[in-house]
Structure 1
Amino acid sequence: MSKCLPAGKYLIFCRILAAIVIGIFVASVPYNTVFAKKIKPKVILYVPHDNRPVSNKQTVQVLEKAGYIVKVPPDNLLGNRRSFGNPEGIYQWILVNGKDADAAVISSDSLLYGSLVASRKHDFMKDRVLQRTDYFIEIHKKYPKLPLYVFSSIMRTPKNAAASGSEEPSYYREYGEEIFRYTALTDKQRLQPLAAAEQAELTKLKEIIPQEVLDDWFNRRFKNFTANKVLIGLVRNNILSYLVLGCDDNAPYSQTHAESVVLGKYSADLPKSKFCIVSGVDELGLLLSTRAANEMRNYHPAVAINYASGYGGATVPAYSDKPIDLSVRAEINLAGGVPTTLPDRAAMLLLVNTNVSGWTYEAGESLNSEEPRANTLSFADNIAKYIDEKIPVAVGDIAYANGADNALLQVLRQRDLLFKLNSYAGWNTATNSTGWSIAQGILSLNMTSDNKNRLLLTRYLDDWVYQANVRSLVVRQLNIFPGQGTKLTLGDKNMPAEINADRLTKAFLDRYLSFLGIKAIKVEFPWDRLFEADIDVSTNPNAYTKHYFGIQ
């Protein structure tokens, strides 16, 4: 007859027996089956402001590689270069899909006008635009627990017709430069008396620009301005969880700047945790989605900031109205992070590549050569130093607008640092680049190396290979193709331009990035112009791609 074990020894015996049983079980099934608690991926509804690759496809790719399920309206509802998109269709799509979502990140330009371009060219009555702001109220009523993160634009003021990229009303081709200068002087006049020469110039501009042109341009802006005030009111009433207004293609004196000042005063009572105004627009979808992702996890990463030697953070880049350091700090806050100057206490370090002079040049200019400039090598040294210290590094490359810094990227290539970064961006405007690199960098902290490096490859292909190098070559060779077309409207030349871009891109990759084993490439111009490119590649499973991308 057995005796019962004392209570304490019996408990120990049971624990040992349980460990043996679990050990046998673990030996017979995959590790993840036993220990990994299956967590349902979070779902983000994402309404971009148009269907450009960077606005839509590339933003979605970053979020998906960070582990989120992203739902986007079908392409026929989104705006493109020629079609305004379908605000009512997008609204209905949100109502249908909101039931499964954990957060919604919505472009108000899409929901009010159809797209970002539509916001600049539409003929909707003001009452119709304001009626559509009620869509946000109805969405909130149906899904009161669904956080609504909204990004909107304060209409841009391009410096001239070329800067407008044919995305303004047709009269901007003739009067664009005069309109910009007119608003710059009127904005300045609000702050200080104009010099005699400036006053004379303003009087002359009033004579040159037809009154009907000014009326049309300012009336449309007033609709946008009024709609943004309504959106600010929705934040006050807790309809919107967060609102960001982006100043598109801005300048220190411009109508965009003037409106941002007034809206800033109107929203002064709102906390930074619910509202901000920043420079830039195209990066806002990814930044705000990053904020949504961070708030789902109650995560507020510290992001350190450092600059190349010279003007550094005091640089006022092209297409912006403020020093880049102010924009960078605002972007970090927008993404749900906390800016700091202490890399050793941060989750990530943002290194910003600026010119010693404080000027921002164009990537297509001959100045953008492979020859290192005054601070190129020291900036690369900093990148290597922090990587060696195991600090995740994101690079915002803003020495040039509309493309990467060739000298910097060549040095990073030579030192085998390209795929040791956590994120990189060097496209379009300075704030586009810094904002994108911040957001992708924060999200990369929870990615596999494979996913992180594939996203880096996307940026190198777009920002460095195509924008800084191939695009200018395609522009110069465009006239040899038959048919009608220009770099702004390719027309008959679209297909031959794509074939030429394929060839030139592949040649660049074979020369400088052959270790990636890229065997095929396809470049498309979805907006029928050379500025936006959609680039797809396939790779050979050689030793380098195995190392960088985990391809077996």
Structure 2
Amino acid sequence: MQFKYLKQLLCLFLMMIVVYVPNVVFASLNKTIIFVPHDNRPISFKQTADNIRDLGYEVLTPPEELLGNRENPYAKPEELSKWVIENAKKADAAVISSDSMVYGSLVASRKHNLSEDVVLARVHNFEKIHQANPNMKLYVFGSIMRTPQTSEASGSEDANYYAQYGTDIARYTALNDKLEQDGLTHKERKQLKQYEQKIPKAALDDWLSRRQGNFLVSKNLIDLARNDVITYLALGCDDNAKYSQTNKERRALDNYGSDLSELKYQSVAGIDEIGYVLLTRAVNNLQGDIPFVSVHYAKGTGENTIPAYSNEPIKNSIATHIKMAGGMKVNSDKRADLVFMVNTNFDGTTGAANDLNNVYIPNENIIDFVNMVDEAVQANKKVGIGDITFGNGSDNALMFSLYGKNLLDKLNAYSGWNTPTNSTGYALAMGMGANYTDRVGILKMLEVRYLDDWLYQANIRQAVANRLNSMPGEGDYGNTKTRTLPAEKLATEALQKMIADYGLEKFEGQSYVADAQIRFPWQRMFEADIIFPEEKVSVEEKIEK
């Protein structure tokens, strides 16, 4: 009971801040949010914006041609800034990617050749946005440039030389970071010199100079938060590791912003999920609410798991994501608005969802985890799941077990896409947002994740990839080219069959799901867009055109 009153006092305090900050008129709120994602991928853009729209908010997004895409990651940052400034007076809050505003997109932040003068001028467009509407809350998220651990992991989304020297660059900078953190052995010092001699100076200089420019951009964003131009700044560590250039820069930036409270600035492992996390923060603030979140982990390594693509234990990332979204972590389920459960491997490893060991037969760890979920649901708790046993797709054993216990339509949130921290951050945001909609609205959000993360990413994607070479035309997994349409058709047929097999269209208010289709908007199979009847143009119609 005392905790209930504490929450009421916290929410009242939050509302008083909104009401009494000079020049802010609480009564004028229109529930309108500007959202600028870091590119036009479905998960970054449409799916995230739609989740907030489903809560009853108007979400203003820029014309898609102003955003970075696969063909043109550099986009139109100057026109994008003008669009935001023109629309600022319509909004109560804005959630904006600094990568889109400064470089053009997340991918462009890794490959650009912009001068220091250009990037800093674009950073200060945020001042113009603030001047256009000083009452608008300005939430900004940006990336600390990634360090792919291998050349293959780059996926052609870094400078061209990374395909040849990326693994060496990652190891060289990891040793430099280890030297700063813990020191090196004699053997490691010899390796450091060997990598320095092996990597072409021009390539290493280019990579480090771009990073230095991006680092300067991040420092300037911190300055804008310090000067109250930016209401709240979140910096995400794109793909990285415990020892990496990304982690090294994160520590330096955190030190630079150490005078700022967590209400102004935070950094975290992960980046693709942060747009949704900050949109949830905006909604919570506009609602005058601070959701309480309790967290549970599967047995074994659990909270101490350091997942793939991350430089910290998952418990640290989750704690930060909760704060970033405007929530508060609590220790008791009784007090929680969301009971968040994290599916991890017993040994703390992260597999790949398309691996052959992503089977449907549950092990003891999965059985125990699903029982824990079932108990919470039976106790009428609002349960969300962050599924991080595998990266880039769901754990089939988990999903089949949830299906077997009729729990899929009882959850409030789920995510198992892309990197583990992407999944946990996204699911946390969904679970907090679920407080502001009904069961049908929650199921609508869940359906997209089930179709994308489970059916497509963990199952259909690899099955279709295995048949690409038998299709007419040209194309492969990374660039489907002229095989895009037949691949979409085959994937759609498989998707609709699996939807029927698991009865996902029978969930309350979800009959439209039966006719869902798959698209590959970036002409690669790594991600998909899930198209529903009201927005689809059939594959057959596209072929005819």
Quick check: TM above 0.5? yes
Contact 1:306 / 1:341 at 8 angstroms: preserved in 2?
no
Contact 1:370 / 1:406 at 8 angstroms: preserved in 2?
yes
Match of 1:531 in 2: 526
Contact 2:500 / 2:514 at 8 angstroms: preserved in 1?
no
Residue-by-residue CA offset, 1:96-137 (whole Å, 9 max, x unaligned): 111110001100000001111111111111110011111011
Contact 1:148 / 1:241 at 8 angstroms: preserved in 2?
yes
Looking at structure 2, the residues matched to 305 and 169 of structure 1 have their Cα atoms a distance apart, in angstroms, of: 39
Structure 1 runs not aligned, ≥5 long:
1-37, 540-552
Report the secondary structure of 2:483's partner residue: helix
Looking at structure 2, the residues matched to 514 and 391 of structure 1 have their Cα atoms a distance apart, in angstroms, of: 22
Contact 1:304 / 1:342 at 8 angstroms: preserved in 2?
yes
Residue-by-residue CA offset, 1:223-251 (whole Å, 9 max, x unaligned): 11000000001111111100000001110
Looking at structure 2, the residues matched to 481 and 420 of structure 1 have their Cα atoms a distance apart, in angstroms, of: 40
What is the TM-score with the length of structure 2 in the denominator? 0.90
Contact 1:41 / 1:67 at 8 angstroms: preserved in 2?
no
Looking at structure 2, the residues matched to 352 and 114 of structure 1 have their Cα atoms a distance apart, in angstroms, of: 34
Indicate which of 482, 493, 503 corresponds to 1:513: 503
Residue 54 of structure 1 pairs with residue 43 of structure 2: yes
Deviates more, 1:189-198 or 1:171-180: 189-198
Which amino acid in the other structure matches residue 483 of structure 1?
G
Looking at structure 2, the residues matched to 402 and 60 of structure 1 have their Cα atoms a distance apart, in angstroms, of: 21
Match of 2:58 in 1: 69
Report the secondary structure of 2:466's partner residue: helix
Please list, as runs of the form range in 1=range in 2, the aligned pairs for 1:363-512 lying within 5 A after superposition: 363-512=353-502
Looking at structure 2, the residues matched to 144 and 359 of structure 1 have their Cα atoms a distance apart, in angstroms, of: 46
Match of 2:78 in 1: 88
Match of 2:304 in 1: 314
Contact 2:359 / 2:397 at 8 angstroms: preserved in 1?
yes
Report the secondary structure of 1:46's partner residue: strand
Which amino acid in the other structure matches residue 150 of structure 2?
N
Please list, as runs of the form range in 1=range in 2, the aligned pairs for 1:1-400 lying within 5 A after superposition: 41-83=30-72, 84-400=74-390
Report the secondary structure of 1:457's partner residue: helix
Contact 1:356 / 1:374 at 8 angstroms: preserved in 2?
no
Looking at structure 2, the residues matched to 55 and 123 of structure 1 have their Cα atoms a distance apart, in angstroms, of: 24
Aligned length: 502
Report the secondary structure of 1:420's partner residue: coil
Which amino acid in the other structure matches residue 386 of structure 2?
G
Looking at structure 2, the residues matched to 194 and 442 of structure 1 have their Cα atoms a distance apart, in angstroms, of: 44
Contact 1:295 / 1:336 at 8 angstroms: preserved in 2?
yes
Looking at structure 1, the residues matched to 490 and 151 of structure 2 have their Cα atoms a distance apart, in angstroms, of: 27
Which amino acid in the other structure matches residue 45 of structure 1?
I
Contact 1:519 / 1:538 at 8 angstroms: preserved in 2?
no
Contact 2:232 / 2:264 at 8 angstroms: preserved in 1?
yes
Which amino acid in the other structure matches residue 43 of structure 2?
V
Indicate which of 517, 522, 543 corresponds to 1:522: 517
Report the secondary structure of 2:488's partner residue: helix
- Quick check: which has more Rg, 1 or 2? 1
What is the TM-score with the length of structure 1 in the denominator? 0.89
The alpha carbon displacement at 1:267 in A equals 0.8
Which amino acid in the other structure matches residue 77 of structure 1?
L
Report the secondary structure of 1:97's partner residue: helix
Residue-by-residue CA offset, 1:59-94 (whole Å, 9 max, x unaligned): 111101111100000001000112121111111101
Identity across aligned pairs (percent)? 44
Match of 2:5 in 1: none
Report the secondary structure of 1:445's partner residue: helix
Aligned-pair Cα RMSD in Å: 1.5
Looking at structure 2, the residues matched to 74 and 197 of structure 1 have their Cα atoms a distance apart, in angstroms, of: 54
Which amino acid in the other structure matches residue 282 of structure 1?
D
Contact 2:30 / 2:91 at 8 angstroms: preserved in 1?
no
